[in-house]
Amino acid sequence: MVNYLQHYISGFISLIYPQVCIVCGNHLVQSEKSICQQCVIDLPKTGFHLLQNNPVEKLFWGKIHVEFASAFFFFQKGSVAQKLLHNLKYKGNKEIGIELGKHYATELVRSSLIDTIDYIVPVPLHKNKLKKRGYNQSEMIALGLSQVLSIPVETDTLVRAIENPTQTKKGVFERWENTYGVFTITNTQQFANKHILLVDDVLTTGSTIEACVQAIKQAPNAKVSFISLALASN
């Protein structure tokens, strides 16, 4: 009875204040949130989770070892992907991160790569930036992944110890220099002998991920894989 009443109230509110897709502006059906199914279908997906030695994995060759790496879709300025991520990161739309995480998870379950994952770990924000923004966009993505994959999200061990300047408009070397020593782990035993799935919103040069992986591997026998929602074109 309670569930029926909630469903009825939700439907009534939707009639008065219809929810629309933030991409195309069309009305969302009751099972959709923030983005409609058609716009999800139309995203420029990479399919890299089904491809060994894909371009994301190659980005880390000779730098750090990851078990696998992938990105959900390609990112270009002025694209649908940019609109989605701008809403997630700067417009307070946490829900879009959760929804995109869930959509990506439905793709990832087609691969055996995630079968050995112990924890999903979002790239952390510094506490000052977290306080200012109110949430970590990468954690929202991780929560969406977790809902579908039934793998716990862990946010207490990998921390950003140094508040570094923004990476925007920095070159490859400047980005690497900007992230050196920024991350650490608070408890090496938490990640010991575990396989960590590191999650971020956008992958550009990979310097932030390199720094995170180096920190995680302070834990004995820790393994790391990585995924992002978007892969930026360089």
- Rounded to the nearest integer, the mean pLDDT of the chain is 88
CATH of the domain at 194: 3.40.50.2020
Cβ atoms 151, 209 nearer than 8 A: no
Residues 13 and 71 reside in one and the same domain: no
Does residue 78 carry a pLDDT above 90? no
Residues 17 and 124 reside in one and the same domain: no
Does residue 26 carry a pLDDT above 80? yes
Does residue 20 carry a pLDDT above 70? yes
Token pair, residue 76, equals: 């270009």
pLDDT band at 18 (very low <50, low <70, confident <90, very high): low
Judging by beta carbons within 10 Å of its beta carbon (0-12, 13-18, 19+), is residue 166 exposed, middle or buried? Answer: exposed
pLDDT band at 39 (very low <50, low <70, confident <90, very high): very high
Residues 56 and 99 reside in one and the same domain: yes
Amino acid at 133: R
Cβ atoms 126, 162 nearer than 8 A: yes
Mean pLDDT of 91-108: 96
- Give the DSSP per-residue string, 47-100: -GGG-TT-HHHHHTTTT---S-EEEEEEE-TTSHHHHHHHHHHHS--HHHHHHH
SS3 185: strand
Residues 29 and 96 reside in one and the same domain: no
* pLDDT tens digit sequence for 166-200: 555 555 545 555 566 899 999 999 999 999 999 99
Residues 38 and 54 reside in one and the same domain: no
Does residue 13 carry a pLDDT above 50? no
Q: Indicate the pTM of the whole model.
A: 0.87
Cβ atoms 39, 80 nearer than 8 A: yes
Does residue 12 carry a pLDDT above 50? no
When comparing pLDDT for 16 and 78, which is higher? Answer: 78
Does residue 6 carry a pLDDT above 60? no
**Count of structural domains within the chain:** 2
Residues 104 and 27 reside in one and the same domain: no
Domain residues for the domain of 30 are: 1-42
Q: Measure the CA–CA gap between 28 and 182, rounded to whole angstroms.
A: 41
